[in-house]
Amino acid sequence: MDNNQEIIEQVIAKAKTWLTPDYDAETQAEVQRMLDSEDKNELINSFYKDLEFGTGGLRGIMGAGSNRMNIYTVGAATQGLANYLNKVCKTTKGLSVIVGHDCRNNSRKFAKISAAIFSANGIKVYLFENLRPTPEVSFAIRHLGCQSGIILTASHNPKEYNGYKAYWEDGAQVLAPHDKGIIDEVNKIKVADIKFKGNDALIEIIGENVDKVFLDKVKTVSIAPDVIQRHHDMKIVYTPLHGTGITLIPRALKMWGFTHIIDVPEQDVISGDFPTVKSPNPEEPAALSMAIERAKATDAELVMASDPDADRVGIACKNDKGEWVLINGNQTCMMYLYYILTQYKALGKITGNEFCVKTIVTTELIKKIADKNNIEMLDCYTGFKWIAREIRLLEGKKKYIGGGEESYGFLAEDFVRDKDAVSACCLIAEIAAWAKDNGKTLFQLLQDIYVEYGFSKEKGISVVKPGRIGAEQIQQMMTNYRNNPPKEIAGSKVVLRKDFLTLKQTDANGKVSDLVMPETSNVLQYFTEDGTKVSIRPSGTEPKIKFYIEVKGEMECRHCYDGANAEAEDKIKDVTVSLGI
């Protein structure tokens, strides 16, 4: 029997277990349709494995099957989390959780089912009345003194996807030992174990009572309200891309003092189908195109777009030629930290006890800015749970003043423990007002940072490999890079190699030393003599392998930007050739 036939027989046997009374009629009909189809690809992809409850929770395509997001995979995740909470928090009086959700199809349905399951297990549930941003869910856990919380969201993924993120009592996504403990409990769950029938007495609906406290706290992030007052009527275009940002971000901007917020009416429509965009991802230029057109029509100065669960923000502004350009995640992170450090310094608020955090794949230029201002910069793994971990470890010892990642996430405050587009949108608007107060545009501010600290250009390249075969190909690519590391990249010698799976680094002389990290991660990094940095990692949530490329350059004046940028573009092309991508 060939391998493919063996897999087909295995998935058929597995699918037939979904044709029992444990599953509803709609699910059974969908499974039967896949079984009856001559093309077995859909059946294979739906059943070849169980949708894994990993350290980031669940994320997958919606539909029937063990490898899909549906009421049974969500139910198993919630029942497993409930079992874990009842086990480790058995001495806690009044065990409680937050349940939130975004705009996606089935998100409300999954949230209500999850609330019912928690309550059926004797756990008090605070269920948001409607869609809310991810950062507010993180905030609410701490604010209401809960032991855990979940949000149903697939972040910026295409409309076919949904997801489930689990948080611990500090408002951060779960880390060791709880992540493994929850996973173990989830893996034990059979459909018959899931307590779908809830206890309404244990479910409390929340909304404005938390919104107001959260927004009041977000307002405290503002550093220069007087600057906003002077430029309150600056024209800002904001789009929620059909998502949860619409519930709080325009209101937050007004609370900060901005009086001329321009919307994109078609994208204010809450919809899990994301009808005006191919992908609701603010990293992709197309997602901001309608907002930029609106900005051109209204002569606005700034464009902002939050992703569907409003934890990340993409921005655009005019360059020195008056053309609208996108500012990438590394650049926004750089501007946030530059502004915070500059303002703190001017206000005499730097005591030497502050720290900021970046992920290992984020631009090294941020570290240069922190070093020059004598602020400690910590490096952590990709994902905001690791930034949250650093905040938790230093709580009460050092003051956190900001942290970010290249994938358009930033957190300026510590009362939230996940990336926050609500405060980030307000803060970038304040930065634009501050630049204006100093006779600059936002783009000129970015140029000035490059002139002061050196030029850097970053590019992320994702190679998508879907399905079972794709997962195997990604694994093979990582094995090849690990076993045959490049000696040079784009003509420059590799002087440092980091392998976060073995937690070892090797320098140019072959000397091996340890990497101090909280756990292993399947990430490779190469640093070259000329300052180029390449990071390679498989995505934990999508069927892709990601390459993060950063090249260095010189920029002596604002007018040198185009030249430095063009040189860096050529260098990045050479790097991709070296890597074979």
126 in Cβ contact with 178 (< 8 Å):
no
Cβ neighbour number for residue 506 with a 10 Å cutoff: 17
Find all residues with CB under 8 Å of 417, minimum gap 6, and list them: 138, 142, 167, 170, 171, 172, 384, 388, 391, 392, 411
Which is catalytic among the residues 46, 138, 155, 492?
155
**Beta bridge mates, 205:** 127
CA dihedral 73, 74, 76, 81 (to 10 degrees): 140
Q: What is d(CA 379, CA 530) in angstroms, rounded to the nearest whole number?
A: 21
The DSSP 8-state label assigned to residue 64 in this structure reads S
Residue 114 annotated in active site:
no
253 in Cβ contact with 426 (< 8 Å):
yes
First to last CA, the chain: 35
Number of H helices, E strands in the chain: 18, 23
- Of residues 323, 290, 298, 560, the one with CA closest to residue 441: 323
Measured at the alpha carbon of residue 533, what is the angle toward residues 527 and 534, in degrees to the nearest 5? 105
Alpha helices in 206-276 (DSSP H): 208-219, 225-230, 245-256
307 in Cβ contact with 281 (< 8 Å):
yes
Find all residues with CB under 8 Å of 159, minimum gap 6, and list them: 104, 105, 272, 273, 274, 280
Active site residues: 155
